[in-house]
């Protein structure tokens, strides 16, 4: 439920709008570092990740910037995409 008492909107994918406390999230930190390195190595990879995950490209960019973090399901899907894309 959100502050208005309504359920979570379908478009936000369980996003938490808060600065990342990377120090307390070593697995997310490692995945984010891998994603940054992988997406920075070749143009278009942020868009590929967004397409695979079914989110807008700016949303992936926000994760990379550390301004928001994805929910659990999206994080697992992101991990799967990264493994598949590297294979």
Distance CA 45, CA 71 (A): 20
Report the range of poorest mean pLDDT among 20-24, 31-35, 46-50.
Answer: 20-24
User: Which of 36, 78, 34, 37 is closest to 54 using CA atoms?
Assistant: 78
| Number of residues written out for the chain | 87
Please give the DSSP secondary-structure letter assigned to residue 42.
S
What pLDDT is recorded for position 47? Answer: 94
Residue that the structure tokens 């070749």 belong to? 42
User: Which of 20, 15, 22 is closest to 59 using CA atoms?
Assistant: 15
Q: What is the pTM of this model?
A: 0.68
Distance in angstroms between the alpha carbons of the first and the last residue of the chain: 39
**Average pLDDT, integer, range 58-63:** 94
What pLDDT is recorded for position 1? Answer: 45
Average pLDDT of every residue of the chain: 81
pLDDT tens digits along 41-53: 889 999 999 999 9
Residue 15 pLDDT > 90, yes or no?
Answer: no
What pLDDT is recorded for position 9? Answer: 45
């Amino acid at each position: 439920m959100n502050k208005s008492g309504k359920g979570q909107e379908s478009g936000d994918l369980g996003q938490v709008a808060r600065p990342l406390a990377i120090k307390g999230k070593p697995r997310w930190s490692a995945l984010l570092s891998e994603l940054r390195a992988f997406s920075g190595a070749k143009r278009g990879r942020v868009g590929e990740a967004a397409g695979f995950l079914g989110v807008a490209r700016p949303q992936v960019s926000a994760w990379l910037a550390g301004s928001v973090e994805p929910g659990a399901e999206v994080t697992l899907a992101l991990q799967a995409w990264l493994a598949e894309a590297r294979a």
